[in-house]
Amino acid sequence: MISQVVLDALNKQIKLEGDSSQLYLAMASWAETKGLEGTANFLYSHADEERQHMLKLIKFVNERGGKAFVPQIEEPKQDFTTLKEVFTAILKHEIFVSESINEIVFLTFENKDFPTHNFLQWFVSEQIEEEKLARNVLDKLEMIGEDKGGLYLFDRDIVTLDVSGTQE
């Protein structure tokens, strides 16, 4: 059985993963309306991935004898000015998510909840990959600068980026 403090933290993380999905979805919609189809598809895919993270947490909580709380999702920011702004926001958000997961990992140690600690190691690794991907995309956008041809190629190629930010 999960302690109440760990259960509360996991339910908070469930909400954060749902909010993450909505953030990526809003960013994808923005990109799509700007003609950035490749970026939109990349972000739609990540919105789905974040939803899967939420479901993974819900199932774990319920399987461990807790009760997962399905929260109201916050409306994310809807408008952006540049792709660099989008990916800067993504990196900032992913760092926030990493910090949240790290706090839960610490709680699992304090509460001697080793099954949850082991479960969360997948999320710890996932967050390292998410932050690395956002940093690599920002590096590419920095190289491109204001070059529209470079932006076109970036948008065409972003769907082939793997989690390390390199072409598949």
* Secondary element (H or E) of residue 26: helix 4-33
Structure tokens at 23: 């953030």
130 assigned ligand-binding residue: no
Residue 127 assigned as binding residue: yes
Q: How far apart are CA 87 and CA 133, in angstroms?
A: 10
Give the position of tokens 């980026």: 161
33/83 Cα distance (integer angstroms) = 13
Rounded to whole angstroms, the maximal C-alpha distance in the chain is: 56
How many whole angstroms separate alpha carbon 17 and alpha carbon 151?
29
Whether residue 117 is annotated as binding a ligand: the answer is no
- Annotation-wise, does 94 bind a ligand? yes
Q: Tell me, what amino acid is at 165?
A: G
Q: Where are the alpha helices (DSSP H) in 35-147?
A: 37-63, 83-110, 114-144
Which positions make up the binding site? 17, 50, 53, 94, 127
Which positions make up the binding site for Fe cation? 17, 50, 53, 94, 127
